[in-house]
Amino acid sequence: SYVLTQPPSVSVAPGKTARITCGGNNIGSKSVHWYQQKPGQAPVLVIYYDSDRPSGIPERFSGSNSGNTATLTISRVEAGDEADYYCQVWDSSSDLVVFGGGTKLTVL
């Protein structure tokens, strides 16, 4: 089955740029979606179809996808961005939806 690999944790200082990766075999050929989840809350979609941003999501959030790695980039990181982040794809080979294991973003 298709596997998405995320780093368990990423730390960044306020005002800096955070990059959270999502690795998968030829993930560049798939559509990647990203979710933010804060403690005690349901997940929120922050990036869809690799790089599109839902209304209400700050421009500081952006996404890219190429080769074997998709990346969620958060510019000018704020304390309020501290959360768990998950990537998600649909694997056409298995007809299954797959989530990455999640990355905890810590703002130092």
**Please, which residues bridge with residue 96 across strands?**
91
Residue 17 to residue 1: CA distance in whole angstroms: 32
According to CB under 8 A, which one of 5, 21, 28, 31 is a site residue for other proteins?
31
DSSP code for 16? S
The CB-of-14 to other proteins minimum distance in angstroms stands at 26
Nearer to other proteins, 6 or 18 (CB): 6
The count of residues interacting with other proteins (CB under 8 A) is 27
Binding to other proteins by residue 61, rule CB under 8 A?
no
Output the six-digit token pair for 63.
Answer: 């996404």
